[in-house]
Amino acid sequence: MSRALLFAANWKMHHAPEAAVQFARRFQELVAPRADRALWFFPPAVSLEATAQAFARRADVHVGAQHVHWEAKGAFTGEISLPMVRAVGGAGALVGHSERRHLFGETDEQAARKVAAVLAARLQPILCVGETLAERDAGRTEDVVGRQLTAALRGLAPEDAARLVIAYEPVWAIGTGRVARPEDAAAVHRHIRTLAAAFGVPGRLPVLYGGSVNAGNALGLLAEPEIDGLLVGGASLDPDTWAEIVGLGA
């Protein structure tokens, strides 16, 4: 497989600073840099600086925030800003993760404002899109994903939109043990790229798959040419397991 791959680890509410440093130490013992892949880690906010420092010598590793606010500062208790992320070594941010949308009420409009803010800050946004089980069963997958993506693309210049990374993460597959069949995920990825092209986005947007990915199913997903990498939660929490996954697809 000659194309470059992107592997993103979303630690969610796991790994305080000391645990993050221990993870980084073990992971770097197991995984050497490779020209054909980029590695991203999204630790909880309190561990962002420790994680960035632990990987500081690895040009192939980038660290980002799980969640940001679109304003640079203000009376927004509990939020973190993009200048704060940059100040502690962060290089990007997840936007619109399904848990932010469905547990905390983040809207398409808010996700779009965050995408624009991350791009304006010259950091990397990874925009998450995906449908619920009810929406899937109703045959609305493309409509839902299209709505979420369109909200973000509508306000962007095509050259800015070309800097996006998209993560397709069907809500029904996250943390459930259910995973989309590679061919089904690939069909959604094609739809995402078709929609981006309709907005004038040049080139090929990188599109990742996320949702109950593990060492047993990752290779089958990566074999699909439409799948450019993986966004992984639970299986990224152990350095040995994550090292195994990021070594796949060679």
pLDDT digits (tens, 9 = 90+) for 10-19: 999 999 999 9
Instruction: Give the Cα separation of 159 and 249 in Å (integer).
Output: 29
Structure tokens at 207: 């599109």
Whether 240 has a pLDDT exceeding 90, the answer reads: yes
- DSSP structure string for 184-202: HHHHHHHHHHHHHHHTT--
Average pLDDT over residues 54-68: 98
Whether 54 has a pLDDT exceeding 60, the answer reads: yes
Whether 38 has a pLDDT exceeding 70, the answer reads: yes
Whether 249 has a pLDDT exceeding 90, the answer reads: no
Nearest of 230, 120, 248 to residue 167 by alpha carbon: 230
Report which residue type is found at 215.
A
**Which string of b and e fits 96-113 if b means at least 16 CB within 10 Å?**
bbbbbbeeeebebebbbb
Average pLDDT over residues 231-242: 98
Asked if residue 32 lies in contact with residue 55, where contact means CB atoms within 8 angstroms, the answer is no
Structure tokens at 231: 């966004």
Whether 2 has a pLDDT exceeding 70, the answer reads: no
- Residues known to be catalytic: 97, 169
pLDDT digits (tens, 9 = 90+) for 69-95: 999 999 999 999 999 999 999 999 999
Q: What is the pLDDT of residue 250?
A: 64
- DSSP structure string for 57-92: T-TTEEEEES---SSSSSS-TT---HHHHHHTT--E
Q: What is the pLDDT of residue 1?
A: 41
